[in-house]
């Protein structure tokens, strides 16, 4: 059984670039909400540490997946259910599907450089 899991993980990693797994981006899960990474070059105004979240990787079977836990930080001016950040030294922005308020939208647009 263990060999089958290792083999399945190896096949998923070595899958060709055109496969369906290559189109998936890792997401963040925190308090039953999923967040997707968003590219930003702006300085993210971090607030307090909220706890730990889980990075959900693509192309690896759940049984063989090692769940990396990461520290999650609030963003000043944005509710945690709308957007979060990782890594205080060089923050990474993650945004959920929750509808932001007008003020939150302005903060997120500024972070996305729109």
pLDDT digits (tens, 9 = 90+) for 38-73: 988 888 999 999 999 998 888 766 666 667 788 999
pLDDT of residue 41: 81
> CA 50, 27, 68, 91 torsion: positive or negative?
negative
The model's pTM = 0.71
Q: Read off the pLDDT of each residue in 66-84 and give the average, rounded to a whole number.
A: 90
DSSP letter, residue 23? G
* Inter-CA distances, 99 with 70, 77, 92, 94, 96, Å: 24, 14, 20, 14, 8
Whole-number pLDDT of residue 53: 93
pLDDT category at 26 given cuts 50, 70, 90 is confident
- Is the pLDDT score of 84 beyond 90? yes
């Amino acid at each position: 059984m263990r060999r089958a899991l290792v083999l399945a993980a190896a096949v998923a990693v070595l899958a060709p670039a055109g496969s369906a797994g290559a189109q998936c981006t890792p997401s963040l899960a925190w308090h039953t909400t999923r967040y997707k990474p968003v590219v930003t070059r702006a300085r993210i105004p971090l607030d307090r540490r909220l706890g730990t979240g889980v990075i959900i990787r693509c192309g690896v079977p759940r049984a063989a997946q090692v769940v990396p836990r990461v520290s999650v930080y609030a963003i000043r001016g944005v509710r945690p259910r709308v957007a979060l950040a990782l890594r205080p030294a060089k923050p990474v922005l993650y945004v959920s599907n929750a509808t932001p308020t007008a003020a939150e939208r302005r903060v997120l647009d500024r972070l996305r450089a729109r």
